[in-house]
């Protein structure tokens, strides 16, 4: 799978947001298209898609048990939780059933807003849990 970074930006409380584009290799896409043809020609999923991520520096996956990701409202729900380079990273993807009919899931402005809305909810959650997030830059 080929992954490219479409956008990275600093957000509130020291968080960093990122939008990535994922694409299956050409040979895999050919095989998937053959399968789609067998099922009436309609794509069963996307051959390429975007994901939005938020990184929380200093937080760890030890928070996993306290996270209530089901309460986070984001497209398709949070689908990624991992520890990377000293940060807790939480993300969502746009490769769900029905996403082939949703043009907004390819719009960088929409993806940016969706990622920031997820970040805002997570910041509120972590603040409620007493986690120390970086102060706003003046």
Task: Identify the CATH number of the domain in which residue 55 sits.
Answer: 3.30.200
Instruction: Give pLDDT tens digits for 87-112.
Output: 999 999 999 888 888 999 999 999 99
- Count of the separate structural domains present in the chain: 1
Q: Long-range contact list for 70-77, CB < 8 A, 24+ apart?
A: 71/121, 71/125, 72/118, 72/121, 72/122, 72/125, 73/117, 73/118, 73/121, 74/114, 74/117, 74/118, 74/121, 75/105, 75/114
Which pTM does this prediction carry? 0.83
Length of the chain in terms of residues written: 138
Residue 60: band (very low, low, confident or very high) from pLDDT cuts 50, 70, 90: confident
Which residues form the domain of 8?
2-22+50-128
Residue 136 counted as domain residue: no
Residue 89 counted as domain residue: yes
Mean predicted lDDT score pLDDT of the chain = 83
Range scoring the smallest mean pLDDT among 16-20, 37-41, 77-81 = 37-41
Residue 93 counted as domain residue: yes
Residue 132: band (very low, low, confident or very high) from pLDDT cuts 50, 70, 90: low
Mean pLDDT on 64-92:
88
**Euclidean distance between CA atoms 115 and 93, whole angstroms:** 10
């Amino acid at each position: 799978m080929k992954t490219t970074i479409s956008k990275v930006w600093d957000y509130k409380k020291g968080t960093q947001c990122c939008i990535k584009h994922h694409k299956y290799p050409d040979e895999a896409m050919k095989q998937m298209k053959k399968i789609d043809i067998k099922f009436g020609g309609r794509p069963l999923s996307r051959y390429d898609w975007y994901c939005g991520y938020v990184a929380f520096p200093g937080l760890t996956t030890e928070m996993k048990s306290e996270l209530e990701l089901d309460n986070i409202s984001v497209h398709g729900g949070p689908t990624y939780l991992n520890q990377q380079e000293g940060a807790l990273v939480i993300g969502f993807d746009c490769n769900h059933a029905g996403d082939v009919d949703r043009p907004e899931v390819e719009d960088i402005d929409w993806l940016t807003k969706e990622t920031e809305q997820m970040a805002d909810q997570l910041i509120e959650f972590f603040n409620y849990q007493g986690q120390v997030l970086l102060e706003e830059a003046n």
